[in-house]
A and B are shown apart, each in its own frame.
Chain A
Amino acid sequence: TQLLEQSPQFLSIQEGENLTVYCNSSSVFSSLQWYRQEPGEGPVLLVTVVTGGEVKKLKRLTFQFGDARKDSSLHITAAQPGDTGLYLCAGEVGANNLFFGTGTRLTVIP
């Protein structure tokens, strides 16, 4: 059962545009992690947020954890073709395992 819903599922934008991906749940998580996955490879961790309201920046990527620790967003500024990939949010329940969202497939067109 997927506890996390991501939107949009698919996103195709031009290079230089901004975008936001949302990750929503009715569950509270001890941490929320964002991963990026390339075709034929495993997910690679981008960031972990653990405190409600926390904002983290990674170059052109900005991650925010909701105040109630149930939702998160990923904002990319001035997208580049190298940002193309599957973006996955994942909520950690306790310290035991990670539940992944449905994913957002981003395509940045040069």
Chain B
Amino acid sequence: DTGVSQNPRHKITKRGQNVTFRCDPISEHNRLYWYRQTLGQGPEFLTYFQNEAQLEKSRLLSDRFSAERPKGSFSTLEIQRTEQGDSAMYLCASSPYYQTVRTNYGYTFGSGTRLTVV
């Protein structure tokens, strides 16, 4: 397994365009998370999936954002009508479904997709 893979690594788009990012998690991980990180800040939670079910969404996830994980494997994050404020690093992470006190392996993050809206 090569870890969590995100594509593309970089995306430059004009304001008002739609963009879609892809995340391929570690294959045996049931949980998949999306985070957004702006310069100088820690990552902020956007949403997470358990298998194909989207179980939680942050208030940061406006109606222009939509995430899917149709077969419980890879996930996509789409941003419609991009705005300059959407410029950030979008991080995907995965983890096993069940983590105990003794076997808490944390989250495995991808390298992120850096979005620049011009």
Binding site for B on A (CB under 8 A): 2, 4, 31, 33, 35, 40-45, 48, 50-51, 88, 90, 95-103
Asked if B110 is at the interface (CB within 8 A of a chain A CB), the reply is yes
Asked if B108 is at the interface (CB within 8 A of a chain A CB), the reply is yes
Whole-angstrom distance from the CB of A99 to the nearest CB of chain B? Answer: 7
What chain A residues lie within 8 Å of B40 (beta carbons)?
103
Q: Which of A2, A42, A101, A103 contacts B4 (CB 8 A)?
A: A42
What chain B residues lie within 8 Å of A100 (beta carbons)?
35, 42-44
Q: Is the CB of A48 within 8 A of B104?
A: yes
Interface size on B, residues (CB 8 A): 26
Q: Which of B42, B45, B105, B108 contacts A48 (CB 8 A)?
A: B105
B39-56 interface bits toward A, Cβ cutoff 8 Å, 1 = contact, 0 = none: 011111100100000011
Known: A35-B106, A42-B91. 19 other contacts (CB 8 A): A33-B106, A33-B107, A35-B109, A40-B111, A41-B112, A43-B43, A43-B91, A44-B109, A45-B106, A48-B106, A50-B101, A51-B101, A88-B43, A97-B48, A100-B35, A100-B42, A100-B43, A102-B41, A103-B40
- Which residue of A is nearest B48, CB measured? A97
Q: Is the CB of B45 within 8 A of A99?
A: yes
Which 4 pairs of residues, A with B, have the shortest CB-CB distance? A42-B109, A100-B42, A45-B106, A48-B104
- 11 A-B pairs with C-beta separation under 8 A: A33-B106, A35-B109, A45-B107, A50-B101, A50-B104, A96-B55, A97-B56, A98-B33, A101-B42, A102-B42, A103-B40
What chain A residues lie within 8 Å of B112 (beta carbons)?
40-42
Q: Is the CB of A40 within 8 A of B42?
A: no
Chain B 43-71 interface residues, beta-carbon cutoff 8 Å to A:
43-45, 48, 55-56
Q: Is the CB of A45 within 8 A of B105?
A: yes
Q: Is the CB of B41 within 8 A of A103?
A: yes
Whole-angstrom distance from the CB of A36 to the nearest CB of chain B? Answer: 11
What chain A residues lie within 8 Å of B105 (beta carbons)?
45, 48
Known A-B contacts A95-B99, A99-B45, A100-B44; the reply to A42 vs B104 at CB < 8 A is no
